[in-house]
């Protein structure tokens, strides 16, 4: 098995286009991606992050008005 890529909370927030505080709140409230803890530091496996994003996508219905 290939070694998974680990992302920091800040990297994950940037990729999700949310503020790092928001991502930390998602993680604390257990609504964010699964985390991996190494030596007291928190990381998110890239594959877990991408799966979380896929689950978070809500299909659009109707027309979007700008």
Q: Crossing angle of helices 46-56/9-16, nearest 10°?
A: 30
What's residue 64's pLDDT? Answer: 62
Both structure tokens of 38: 């190494």
Is the pLDDT at 1 greater than 60? The verdict is: no
Q: What is the pTM of this model?
A: 0.77
**Residue 6's beta-bridge partner residues?**
45
Q: How far is residue 18's CA from residue 16's CA, in Å, rounded to a whole number? A: 6
pLDDT digits (tens, 9 = 90+) for 9-59: 999 999 999 999 999 999 999 999 999 999 999 999 999 999 999 988 777
* DSSP single-letter state for residue 5: P
């Amino acid at each position: 098995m290939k070694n998974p890529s680990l992302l920091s909370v800040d990297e994950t927030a940037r990729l999700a286009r949310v503020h790092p505080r928001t991502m930390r709140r998602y993680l604390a409230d257990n609504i964010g991606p699964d985390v991996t803890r190494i030596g007291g530091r928190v990381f998110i496996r890239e594959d877990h992050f991408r799966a979380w994003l896929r689950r978070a996508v809500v299909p659009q219905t109707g027309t979007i008005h700008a």
